[in-house]
Amino acid sequence: MSRPRIATVSLAGCFGCHMSLLDIDERLFALAELVEFDRSPLTDLKEVGPCDIGLIEGGLCNAENVEVLRDFRRQCRVLVAVGACAINGGLPAQRNGRDIGRLMAEVYHARPGLAEGSGIPNDPELPLPLARVHPIHEVVHIDHFLPGCPPSADAIWACLTALLDGRDPALPRPLIRYD
């Protein structure tokens, strides 16, 4: 029988939630016995294929994030929002009270000390920023939420093993944190 496939992706986040996943340390060996890894920090896959469990770090700050999220949702049977950025926008959402156009102009054009001729990057390859940073549940259905900035390695392990066992991944209170 084929093993369940797990994928992860980082949108507008700092990769700290992925570092917390890697912090399960030697339990990664046990996990590797139980699952196949699709796109994740443990493989070099750039595209996600059909998966059983998808873990998403980060919110949505640009058009590419939305595209990647929608594709990830299509490919993953169960989707887990991992960390504050995915759940409520987190730190990147601190820009939500500001006008994105003015903010970009301040950072790339008007800030003291910039080289002459500096301007807002406009290469067509760059993803367009969204006016606000959005949590991922505003765009796709999310099956489970794992709070924390980041959630601890123990919380990620408890969530993953529950899902793999077919149990409800509701965490015991000591593993739930909101900072």
Binding residues (CB under 6 A) for ligand SF4: these are: 13-14, 16-17, 57-58, 83-85, 90-91, 149-150
CB of 25 to ligand SF4, least distance (A): 18
| Residues whose CB is less than 8 angstroms from the CB of residue 21 and which lie 6 or more positions away in sequence, other chains included | 8, 41, 55, 82, 153, 156
Rank residues 19 and 114 by Cβ distance to ligand SF4 and give the closer one.
19
| Pair type for strands 144-146 and 36-37 | unpaired
Q: Provide the token pair at 16.
A: 């700290």
Q: How far is the CB of 147 from ligand SF4 (least distance, A)?
A: 9
Considering beta carbons, is residue 59 or 129 the nearer one to ligand SF4? 59
Nearest approach, Cβ of residue 135 and ligand SF4 (Å): 11
- Is the Cβ of residue 111 or residue 130 nearer to ligand SF4 in the bound state? 130
Residue of minimal CB distance from ligand SF4? 16
Q: Is 69 helix (H, G, I), strand (E, B) or coil?
A: helix
In the complex with ligand SF4, which residue's Cβ is closer, 83 or 135?
A: 83
Residue 13 beta carbon to ligand SF4: minimum distance, rounded to whole angstroms:
3
Q: How far apart are the first and last CA of the chain?
A: 40
Contact between 137 and 71 under an 8 Å Cβ cutoff? The reply is no
Of residues 91 and 105, the one with the C-beta less far from ligand SF4: 91
Least distance CB 54 / ligand SF4 (angstroms) = 16
Q: Please confirm whether the linkage preceding 150 is cis (ω < 30° from 0).
A: yes
Q: CB under 8 Å, gap of 24 or more: what pairs does 174-178 form? A: 175/151, 176/147, 176/148, 177/147, 177/148, 177/151, 177/152, 178/84, 178/147, 178/148, 178/149
